[in-house]
Chain A
Amino acid sequence: MSATAPPLPRLHVVTGKGGTGKTTVAASLALALAGPGRRVLLVEVEGRQGIAPLFDAAPLPYAERHLAAGLDGGEVFGQAVDADEALLDYLTMFYKLGSAGRALRKFGAIDFATTIAPGLRDILLTGKLKEAVSRTESGRMVYDAVVLDAPPTGRIVKFLNVTVESGRLAKTGPIGRHSRSVSRLLHSSLTAVHLVTTPAAMPVQETVDAHRELLAADLPVGHVVLNKTAGAEAVDITAERLREGLRRTGLPSDEALVTALLDEYGTRRAETEAIDSYRARLGTLGRPISELAILPEGVDLSGLYRLARDLRGGLGAPGGAAEGDDPGGDDRGR
């Protein structure tokens, strides 16, 4: 690797409007990134247990757990990070709190602290991420990549930028130092924030807005993922032609069916055209766009691997590199 190339992202933050497919895309991305010999950690932070059901697994614990085999022989681990637990970790780490921490928790103080200051929750969660990204074991990175099923676009900048504030508030001491190191990671090219959208007006608008806000906050934007696309190739068809074709294949060809089929086809074409216009709008952001087709049967485990294959090469290349970047590099990120 040349000395000037920026390091490839190791922390992949997947955000988007609610319901666009953040969890699905994060999970498939983790599978795609888990190439031969690689270990990938898939993390959720909203206490929803959205990941486990995708893998037909029991609810994820606070400690990471093996979840699935990656696409080409790597391994995917899963973790549900919880702010209360993280606060105890944090207090223990900086103040050697030990069992006193448990007592505080019983008293409701921990709950109180994280409720009263939603920002504290985010500090703790991003702190855990930083720890997972930079953890080493006998001189080797434990995880080659960490994928976060992140809060939605409406809250993402606040979430990722919380340590900037806290780093400023606490100028000295371990918390200030910690906040600043988390903030450094999140603002570096080791992080990539991917924006998931569906081809619909509101999600695309939110993507454009979020992109602007991320840039304004100096946060690194990665790919745009256009999810749930459905393409019908545009063909010209007349009622006669359709009736003739139906007859030729022994299907019913009554007026009602012909009209209904033409109507449906018209709707599909309108959808396809709308997708083209959304694609163009997203194109103006100047980010690579990865597309995922809508799976008509919904997403089960095999569907997840299928989406992972579609992501591989683009967003899912090791390190999430665009073409042209160094594809190898097991020694990277020391």
Chain B
Amino acid sequence: MAADLDLDALLSDEGKHVIACCGSGGVGKTTTAAALALRAAERHGRRTVVLTIDPAHRLAQSLGMKALDNTPRPVEGLEGGSLDAMMLDMKRTFDDVVASHTSPDRAAEIFANPFYQAVSSTFSGTQEYMAMEKLGQLRASERWDLIVLDTPPSRSALDFLDAPARLARFLDGRVIRLLSASTPGSRRSMLSLMGASAAVFTRVFNKILGGHLLTDVAEFTASLEDTFGGFRKRAEATFRVLQDDQTSFLVVATPEPAAINEAVYFSRRLTEERMPLDGMIMNRLTPVGASLSAERALGAAATLEEDDPRDPVAAVLRAHADTAQRRAAEQRVADRYSAACPDIPQVRLATLGSEVVDLAGLRRFGAAAAGS
């Protein structure tokens, strides 16, 4: 197996200013981000902020806060140090970006556009894009020396890297350009130049989705273009932030085939893009305490059951065998990651006895992850 990941060394490294926790849905990204931020503040005295993207609002509870919003607020009840926490509000963040780059009139026009409303609240990719945007803002403020970033619950960790660029490409793309050229005011629709099939397309499209959508899109992109020079450039700039070595990526996974495959793909991509991948956290292995093989436990249980089919010792042994088998199967799955990415330091973390619901739980999680 790969070298052990030394999380305390990472958290105390003064040269690291951003730690991003990535992984597929439900593996423990938010919990990891919060626990590491707490540990960095309490144990390593770093002025830390955790930026979470947790629509389920459970993190706020764990941190003992009623609610988190788009502004960092101090976490209370710390055993030393300083930690702020915030939750990304993507619509707010998008609104702020627009407002800060254009005149109030123009901004009001954009806000009123129905397509802007769709893009800023439901569009796939916006959340990832705005997470990067927010990260840039937090860094620029220089109020913190460590920013711990949770990533959005998407089905694939790659979305976090790809979605902003995809959104930018889309909004910068050919079709949009044509549409912008065909906004009311310009004399003729470029789409019509594409011939009859395009006309059919527009008609069908308008019919299904309501007549205004195409116009809204065109107006929106036109006004956006001249306010801040295109999405693509902006997405590229935020992407570069993630490449410098003040940033550290941690991949989180659970020992399930799908999560491991994701983690492997993601790790390879990070390496290809020269992004600093510093470790992998294999979360939620079944805890096994007793060192007794499943086979021996089952054999002994069978012997006991010959005398008494309801022997309680046999029940205990069978429960252990089952637990040990589950753990062994998980280890085999987890080993696929070690085989595919032998150079990435790793830490394996058992499921804690109780769900992580408060600061004490986050502390326990952090201590277990740091191996102390």
Contacts and interface: CB of A to CB of B under 8 A. Distances in A.
B340 interface: no
Contact of B208 (A18, A120, A233): A120
Interface stretch (A2-10, A35-43, A58-66, A263-271): A263-271
A246 interface: yes
A170 interface: yes
Contacts of B124: 115, 118
A135 B95 CA distance: 48
Interface residues of B, number: 61
Contacts of B256: 19
A246 B207 CA distance: 74
Given A246-B313, A249-B304, A267 B353 contact: yes
A117 B217 CA distance: 11
A48 B265 CA distance: 14
A230 interface: yes
Interface stretch (A180-188, A254-262, A325-333): A254-262
A296 interface: yes
B112 interface: no
Contacts of B14: none
Contacts of A233: 315
Contacts of A95: 200, 204
A242 B197 CA distance: 78
B325 to A, nearest CB: 4
A252 B320 CA distance: 14
B228 interface: no
Contacts of A237: 312-313, 315-316
B201 A104 contact: yes
A224 interface: no
B236 interface: no
B218 to A, nearest CB: 11
B290 A261 contact: yes
A267 B304 contact: no
Nearest to B197: A100
B320 A103 contact: no
A217 interface: no
A215 interface: no
Nearest to A235: B312
28 contacts: A18-B26, A97-B197, A97-B200, A104-B198, A108-B173, A108-B175, A109-B201, A169-B210, A170-B208, A175-B204, A232-B322, A235-B310, A235-B315, A237-B313, A237-B316, A241-B312, A241-B313, A244-B313, A245-B317, A249-B299, A249-B304, A252-B292, A261-B290, A263-B289, A264-B319, A267-B287, A268-B322, A296-B326
5 closest A-B pairs by beta carbon, nearest first, are: A245-B313, A100-B197, A260-B289, A260-B290, A235-B312
Given A166-B209, A170-B208, 5 more contacts: A95-B200, A116-B217, A123-B208, A245-B304, A268-B322
